[in-house]
Structure 1
């Protein structure tokens, strides 16, 4: 049977300029994804004063944004399977940049909400595609590390954006618009797009072995020119080409169980983290801190985010990812609870810093773990649906948090968030499959869960 042997040919490549360029491009997209994802939360406290927006209205806009994320995640899997990983990454990145730019010209909360929903769809779609793209291009033994490296660089967009917001939002009645203009700069990803390669594994899964072989030959020529002669790849594991996976594919047992598990992972991560990050500036402002101080405190806490992604890069390929996720999730629950129990500015920054550090590490680990539970045939669909369900769940999260705050006060919000994180850690501990052995096994012995 004809076979381009994409997996083994990619796995035996030494890390090179090709991998570094791919990392740079994906990191740039991540930077502005993370820069843009909290734009509304950083401008909401000012809109409360300028437009008379209430906490409930902030909750509705935030909630609808997560509906947009769900739609974006589902669409991403379809686009990535139909047009390829590279083209899908370009489409989704340009999409969120365009709608963030449109938000600059919002004239009321409804128009801003519409633009945020569309921006959020692009942000979530880009994330799903980027996770799959990195998973399929990097050698199995280091792909988790490079997922984390991309986020180490990309996550810097969060503290940079929050620091910019803390400086420009309080200036006058219109300066909050500059935050959305900043997020729109993600469109400059187009400068990197032409340097990237399409995933040979995507071509191979379609049965287009000629194109898969052509791309592999280009990559191998580039790498060998830099690193010298390449070792021989392991022999291929024969597999027939398969058609694009329809949604009902996820009802099969081998896809249903990992999809359900990952849905829990991303639901608890989404409600737990975005409940914290989306409302922290507004709730601090409501509790008596000035708009400038509340945004600045949150900006300081997000400095921990790049360090958390770097921490994940140190442990992700060395230890079992499942147990790393359980440990990180438990620590986030404790630190998030302590954050909500104090009104001391120093402790707010310390515990917020730790929440951001471990949460961004958790996210990096989750990005590496999720696609490993599927084979190439089901990877786009399973990753997209599970990630999308997580984002959809937070359509209810902000409404729950607003209700808790209005009826039970500030601290009840953080009790709820801590409980969500602990639930996710418990489910992963009980039902999460291990993937490290499959990643390190010889290619002939690898099972679909780890390839």
Structure 2
């Protein structure tokens, strides 16, 4: 077989049970990623009292976790290109689940820090792989919406975990360990492995057209049995097989500019988001709120996260993603600043709710936008490197936050974070390419019925 025509064959498929099961599996992985990603933030106030951990030590553990995320992102792109999107998704999810379980048995802040670095590497790797996997399996006209739907479901892991933490952490000196045990349940993704399909576009990019065709035929048969006869796909466009994308590929202008832009997007998103989520419980506790109240208030604010992802699902395929990102980033900066300027519990919850809502909408939009700036050859590498550099940047973020808090006080932290979000919005507004017309053109190339 000379060409499997994977892109056009996938683009003309109606949404079916195959797509919905894939969505469920990816959402499951996302759920426990989001459940685990703030575990240290929710347990840090307790450890400050129990182990005498300092704000600076919290900063160091948080910073090193982002170094782990950087390496996880880079390694993920290699794994996804070499062993396939599906295998990489399962492997990275099992990785973070195993090391989250190991954190249950931590005996001091150093051992916990080591386990958190290794967990974070898996969390970031899983995210990169999941973004690519959804991008390559769903029709162009719908992939942004379903990327956002996966986040809508997955992001529920954040408020659920924070609410669980608010209940279990105060139970006793040992109870904080249950938060990490909860995050470890992501390993159960292995139960879905058999029904997940490898990306035909990955096979095709390697020149393995027979394997791509076999997977496509299986998918098409399942969809046709449910939805009826399928329309003919558009003719294939020739694309040379790719064995491996070397890192130097990103130095070409075609890949360098989107990589730099997405690096800014993920740097500002990472520092901006984790500046709030990683520090809010600790800083509120430091400002006089009890550990129980600080964790509970933050748990209430994260209830807005699924709504933000759902909002992104409503707008992502209707409007230009670039401008949606700019609008969301600006709103986050404003609400986050107001969050930091009040000590009223009701306003803390209200503005924190809005920050979480729009930030998770921003993240869902970013996950859909990022892989669209690359072709199949550069998609895994470009997405992984830009996302990884964003995570690496926050190795400095917690140290900056700790320095600002110790030197200038609580409110200076939120001025810094709001400024970070505004920088990202401005850079996207000025330099961000538009992708909607390209998506519409690809959708138009497929027959009606998508």
Residues 423, 165 of structure 1: alpha-carbon distance in 2 compared, 3 angstrom cutoff: same
User: Which residue is equivalent to 2:406?
Assistant: 406
Distance in 2 of aligned mates of 1:151 and 1:103? 25
Structure 2 SS opposite 1:24: helix
- What is residue 229 of structure 1 aligned with on the other side? 229
Q: Which residue of 2 aligns with 1:449?
A: none
Q: Distance in 2 between matches of 1:89 and 1:233?
A: 28
Partner of 1:23: 23
Displacement, 1:444? 9.1
Structure-2 separation of matches of 1:369 and 1:57: 35
Match of residue 279 from structure 1: 279
Which residue of the partner structure matches residue 118 of structure 1?
A: 118
Q: Give the TM-score normalised by the residue count of structure 2.
A: 0.98
C-alpha distance in 2 between matches for 1:372 and 1:290: 45
- Give the aligned partner of residue 65 of structure 1: 65
- What corresponds to 2:81 in structure 1? 81
| Post-superposition CA distance 1:73-106 (Å, at most 9, x none) | 0000000000000000000000000000000000
Aligned twin of 1:427: 427
Unaligned ranges ≥5, structure 1: 447-451
Number of aligned pairs? 446
SS in 2 for 1:285: helix
Query: In 2, distance between residues paired with 1:381 and 1:102?
Result: 30
1:201-280, aligned counterparts within 5 Å? 201-280=201-280
Query: Any idea what the Cα deviations from partners look like across 1:301-354, whole Å, max 9, x if unmatched?
Result: 000000000000000000000000000000000000000000000000000000
Question: Distance between the aligned counterparts of 1:168 and 1:338, measured in 2?
Answer: 30
Shift, 1:112, TM fit: 0.1
Specify the alignment match of 2:350 in structure 1.
Answer: 350
Quote the offset at 1:445 in angstroms: 7.6
2:132 — aligned with what?
A: 132
Give the superposition deviation at 1:443: 6.6
**Structure 1 residues 188 and 394, CA, compared in 2 at 3 Å: closer, same or farther?**
same
CA contact (8 A) 2:140 2:443 kept: no
Residue in structure 1 matched with residue 11 of structure 2 by the alignment: 11
Q: CA deviation at 1:239?
A: 1.6
Contact 1:151–1:364, Cα closer than 8 Å, also in 2: yes
Corresponding residue number in structure 1 for 2:191: 191
Q: Distance in 1 between matches of 2:68 and 2:409?
A: 29
Residues 242-294 of structure 1: CA distance to partner in whole angstroms, max 9, x if unpaired? 22100000000000000000000000000000011000000000000000000
The 1:226–1:170 alpha-carbon spacing in structure 2 relative to 1, beyond 3 Å, is same
Q: Which residue of structure 1 lines up, in the alignment, with residue 200 of structure 2?
A: 200
Does the Cα contact within 8 Å between 1:234 and 1:443 map onto a contact in 2?
no
Structure 1 match to 2:182: 182
For 2:186 and 2:14, how far apart are their aligned partners in 1? Answer: 30
Partners of 2:349 and 2:361 lie apart in 1 by 18
2:307 is paired with a residue whose SS is helix
Question: 1:172-192 CA distances to partner (integer Å, 9 max, x unpaired)?
Answer: 111000000000000111111
SS in 2 for 1:179: helix
Q: CA deviation at 1:238?
A: 1.1
Q: Which residue of 2 aligns with 1:289?
A: 289
The alignment status of 1:104 with 2:104, answered yes or no, reads yes
- Deviation digits for residues 342-368 of structure 1 (CA, Å, limit 9, x no counterpart): 000000000000000000000000000
Task: Note the alpha carbon deviations across 1:23-48, whole angstroms, 9 max, x for none.
Answer: 00000000000000000000000000
Relative to the length of structure 1, the TM-score reads: 0.98
Structure 1 equivalent of residue 376 of structure 2: 376
Following superposition, the deviation at residue 194 of structure 1 comes to 1.2
Question: What CA distance in whole angstroms lies between the structure 2 residues aligned with 1:253 and 1:378?
Answer: 12
Q: Structure 2 CA distance, aligned partners of 1:19 and 1:384? A: 24
User: Alpha carbon RMSD of aligned pairs, Å?
Assistant: 1.0
CA distance in 2, matches of 1:235, 1:143: 21
Q: 1:276 to 1:366 in 2, by over 3 A?
A: same
